[in-house]
Chain A
Amino acid sequence: MKSITTKVVVSITTFVLLATLFSNIYVYIFFKEILLEENLEKDMYVLSQHGIQLESFLSEVRYFGQSIILDEKVQQFCKQEEEIPIQEMTNYLNDRINRKIEIHSAALITNGKSYLSSFANDEILNEMIKQPWYSQMIEDSTYSDFSNKHVLKYGYQQPIELVTYRMVIFDSDNPMTKIGELLLHIDLQYINKMTQQWTNNYSTYSLIDNNSILVNNVAEISALKNNSNIIVLNNEKMYQKIKDGYLLYYPVEDSNWNIVSFVSNNSLSGRAKHLLLFFIFFIPLTMLILMWGIYLLIFQIISPIKKLSDGMISFSNGKMDSYVDIQTNDELEILSNNFNFMIDQINIYIENLVENERIQKKVEFDLLISKIQPHFMYNTLNSVIYLARKQDNQDIVDMVTSFIYILQDSMSVHNNVLTDSVLQELRMIKAYIVIQNYRYQDRIKFVYSGVDDDYKIPKNILQPMVENAIFHGIASKNDSGNININFIEIQDRLQIEIVDDGIGMDEQRKKLVEIGGLVSGTKDSVHSIGVRNVLDRLQHLYPDNYQFSIISKINEGTKIIINIPKEKLINE
């Protein structure tokens, strides 16, 4: 059997733990999403900063190009207004370009010829504009644009990856007239170094244009390619979730470039790992504390029930003083108080039970000790009657006959008969009166009334009253006296009145007699049964359902009233 504390603690704890667990999981997922989005936003911001740096670089290239195409010498060279030696132009371009390490070389195209910033007649450099990237740029027909990536390879040197910025040269005096083109070949190695400088523990960067990857430090960029191997960007959301992380992109202004950054799930969650660790650490600890707190709380509330339960068990095991002290100011306190009251009542009941048992035993014992050997007495008394009849002494015959009757009646008492019929009791009283009249010279007159049916009344309660009426009432009177016994039926009660016209008793004595305080019987009593015994037997047979009262007046007489439940005698 499980204790109520365990049941309550387990059920509440389970509920709370599940609620805590699910809410924490939800919170973790929710905040993880928030953290993830925040981290992505931060990364987007960092990416935008790098983008601005790249845009700034491209702006510098543009301004640099503009400064060349607007240069008077270049204008004159293109317009052929002055004969500027090619070498001078080459040297001039060279001087300008050499200061820009990110620009590998430049080409000035005018009048159908290409003039290089360095190595004026270099075939390999001259051949560059015959490659597809250049014709592609011409087709697009914009005034300035970036080419696709193209490669310059010569000798055993490492191939140089370039992207060309093309600017159309217009006549500064006549802006609608095109006079040449300037090609600035940007070394992608420089841009690669820039992207590598951006790289940190969290992100790597690549640079792409419409058709190709210009700088590739992001292996995962292939996830952006469609079936035709073309990179497709989601321009609504500037990032895309892929298998191992996120690809973020930033469109570089005034170009068809995009910076693509890869942030791995590991680095995103790495930064949120502390959140996971916190929850992993926080949840079990919180659950432990919760369980403990709940247990203590429940225990505090329920321990009175246990006290009560223990008290009941202890009481049922016979410990009659298993009182429970609960002061919780709630229903449990009421319960404990009632429990304690119940213990008291049970204890009182048991005491009464024991007392009644004791009385019964005493009554039985009293009756027992008055028992005499019946056969001897009968034989002796019958012998006396024979002798009296032989001597023709009727008085002796009457007295001994009455006496034998009284003895027979006593036998029934000794045989534990506690009740008898009214008629039988009256016969016994009549026999008693006969005997007493011989003693008191026929001074006692006995009358009874109200007996229509025969009722069951306690045995030997009338005789002691009649006895008392004789000894304490009439005997002291110097005249004859009357004893009346009246039986009055009052609904379901039977009232027995024993009335004498003896000397009566004063109030004090009357009260004493009512409680059975007088010494039971006298030496002349038939039985040693006094008022006290009568009262005890009445109590035994009719516990708290009888009345015994005395009305007496000095020199006027005494009336003893016994009121008991009416019980018709059933003929067995």
Chain B
Amino acid sequence: MSRYLNSKKIFCCALLIYFMAITLFLSLFQQVKPIQQPQKQILTIWGWDESIVEAFYEYQKATPNVEIDFIYVNEYEYKDRINLALATGQPLPDICVLSNGDSKELLSLDIWENLEREPYNLNRELLLDSSISFATNSNDEVVAIPYEVSVAGIAYRNEYAKRVLKTDNPSQISVMFYSWADVLSKGSYIKQEHPDFYMFACLQDVATILYGQANACYIEDNTLVKASSFYNYFKILEELKYKGLVGDIIQWSPEWYESFVTEQYLFYPVALWLAQQGVFGAGNGGEWSMSVPPSGSFNWGGTVWAIPKNSNQKKLAWDFTESLLLSQAGAWYNKNKDNGVLINYKPTYQHEEYQNMYHQDFGEQNIGRFYFENLLPSIKQYPISDYDTILKKVFFEVVNQMNNDESINSEQAFELFKQNIKKEIPSLIILE
């Protein structure tokens, strides 16, 4: 009997444990909340280059508990987006990626962190001289960090060059077309021999080179200094057009992209970020080479990273910026990634190995060393004004009109340019 009573007691205990187990089991499967993860820091970046996300993932390996919120914002609407956010009181991202073309205007707004002050203490000597003007505000304070080296040259198809120029050697070609005058004279000569020959695809390509070759500031103290330089530009464009040395397609149009496939045009402006797009990706590769443009290299494209004052993740933003744009590791990462680019971190260039860079579309040409030895030394540096964005826009609008309307000559274009710039900036004084 006592054995039976013991069994009953044990059974009652077992029954109790049974119900507890069932209850526990069921409660475990009711929306089990995950173990509380340490709060992740989220870095918000607006931009159009999604390779930044891949770079962040590399950064994340060494810095856990951080995440990126990359919001695609078209380059063309970036300025409007920032203005809208400022106007409506919406927060800006932790890092704003500004194109060099818009940077001056936007960087002059008093909404960015001064990176030369605490806690950033940036030494501008770490940056390539050619890049500093894109990263400063109107008070010459560094408020952004330049990303890609924006110095550009010209690219040509080797076979085409051999056929029409009898050489594909970059040095020879750079000597052959040392100036724009050489382009016009020798180009005409080549055109006679090869009626289907075109030096450039479109007027905008030439205008891109010309505009970026300025060796002085365009606008100073609300004055368009040396407006005559624009007249010279329009003149060159006119000559090229009349001599039949330039095509009539539009830069960035589908036809323009398609023209890289056909052997119709000899020269194209080239920067590493353009090569990154794969526009030179022909056949088996190695069909292109780079050379120094007539009258030297020019500034084209590029971006800068700025940290807004109202960011809640300034430390993280600066840490990521430093690791990618201001470190040896960042420099090597950017160079070695697919479609690598060179950054503006000067100390890296002391390493000879860093200067070596090859691109599959440019075959055996050491374009890194080419950049370092040929393009960087010949770049002209000049401070950029707040009105440079508008100036460039107006200039290219006139160039487009010249492209679309054959009747517009250089004088008419120059007049149109002056009219339009005055419309945009009524207070601007034009010095001819």
Contacts and interface: CB of A to CB of B under 8 A. Distances in A.
Interface in B3-21: 4, 7-8, 11, 14-15, 18, 21
A456 to B, nearest CB: 60
A289 interface: yes
A154 B258 CA distance: 5
A91 B26 CA distance: 65
B255 A124 contact: yes
Interface string A132-154: 00000000000000000000101
Given A119-B250, A278-B25, A157 B278 contact: yes
A289 B11 CA distance: 8
Contact of A155 (B14, B29, B261, B397): B261
A219 B255 CA distance: 34
B281 interface: yes
B169 interface: no
Interface residues of B, number: 41
A460 B14 CA distance: 80
A92 interface: no
A120 interface: yes
Nearest to A116: B253
A289 B259 CA distance: 81
Given A98-B76, A289-B15, A87 B250 contact: no
A299 B8 CA distance: 11
B261 to A, nearest CB: 6
B279 A155 contact: yes
Contact of A281 (B25, B255, B260): B25
Nearest to A128: B254
A152 B254 contact: yes
Contacts of A124: 253-255, 258
B228 interface: no
A86 B277 CA distance: 31
B404 A99 contact: no
A155 B259 contact: yes
A157 B278 CA distance: 7
Contacts, number: 95
A156 interface: yes
Nearest to A97: B76
B113 interface: no
A122 B254 contact: yes
A315 interface: no
Contact of A289 (B14, B26, B249): B14
B22 interface: yes
Contact of A296 (B7, B249, B257, B281): B7
Contacts of A277: 29
A123 interface: yes
A127 to B, nearest CB: 9
B404 A101 contact: no
B342 to A, nearest CB: 22
Interface string B63-88: 00000000010101100100000000
Given A123-B255, A278-B26, A278-B29, A292 B72 contact: no
Interface in B263-299: 277-282
Contacts of B280: 156
B404 to A, nearest CB: 6
B252 A119 contact: yes
Contacts of A157: 257, 277-279
Nearest to B76: A98
Interface string B388-432: 000000000100110011000000000000000000000000000
A86 B404 CA distance: 10
Contacts of B14: 289, 292
B11 A296 contact: yes
Contacts of B405: 87
A99 B73 CA distance: 10
A118 interface: yes
A292 B25 CA distance: 21
B18, B250, B254, B257: which has the most chain A beta carbons within 10 Å?
B254
Contacts of B255: 119, 122-125, 154
A124, A155, A296: which has the most chain B beta carbons within 10 Å?
A155
Contacts of B401: 87
Interface string B226-261: 000000000000000000000011101111111111
Instruction: Tell me the dominant secondary structure on chain B's binding face.
Output: helix
A156 B260 contact: yes
A195 to B, nearest CB: 15
A417 B278 CA distance: 142
A389 B339 CA distance: 171
Given A99-B77, A282-B22, A155 B4 contact: no
A116 to B, nearest CB: 9
A156 B74 CA distance: 21
Given A119-B250, A274-B29, A154 B11 contact: no
B88 to A, nearest CB: 16
Contacts of B18: 285-286, 289
A101 B29 contact: no
Nearest to B248: A121
Interface in A257-314: 274, 277-278, 281-282, 285-286, 289, 292-293, 296, 299-300, 303
A156 B77 CA distance: 26
Contacts of B249: 119, 121-122
Contacts of B8: 296
B29 A299 contact: no
A154 B249 CA distance: 13
A298 to B, nearest CB: 12
B169 to A, nearest CB: 25
Interface in B119-171: none
Contacts of B257: 154-157
Nearest to A124: B254
B21 A285 contact: yes
Contact of A122 (B22, B25, B250): B250
Nearest to A158: B278
A281 B257 CA distance: 64
B254 A156 contact: no
B288 to A, nearest CB: 11
Nearest to B28: A274
Interface in A442-459: none
Given A120-B404, A156-B260, A125 B15 contact: no
A98 B77 contact: yes
Contacts of B76: 98
Contacts of B260: 155-156
A122 B247 CA distance: 12
A118 B80 contact: no
Contacts of A278: 25-26, 29
A214 to B, nearest CB: 20
A462 B155 CA distance: 163
Contacts of B279: 155-157
Interface in B46-100: 72, 74, 76-77, 80
Contacts of B74: 98, 101
Given A101-B74, A296-B8, A118 B253 contact: yes
Interface of B: 4, 7-8, 11, 14-15, 18, 21-22, 25-26, 29, 72, 74, 76-77, 80, 248-250, 252-261, 277-282, 397, 400-401, 404-405
Given A87-B401, A154-B255, A282-B22, 13 more contacts: A91-B397, A118-B250, A119-B256, A121-B250, A121-B404, A124-B253, A125-B254, A152-B254, A155-B260, A278-B29, A282-B25, A289-B15, A299-B7
10 residue pairs, one from A and one from B, having the closest CB atoms: A155-B257, A119-B253, A274-B29, A124-B254, A154-B254, A156-B281, A154-B258, A122-B253, A119-B250, A154-B257
23 contacts: A87-B400, A98-B77, A101-B77, A118-B250, A118-B253, A119-B253, A119-B256, A121-B248, A122-B249, A122-B253, A124-B255, A125-B255, A155-B257, A155-B261, A155-B279, A156-B261, A156-B280, A156-B281, A277-B29, A278-B29, A285-B22, A296-B7, A296-B11
Interface of A: 86-87, 91, 98-99, 101, 118-125, 152, 154-157, 193, 274, 277-278, 281-282, 285-286, 289, 292-293, 296, 299-300, 303
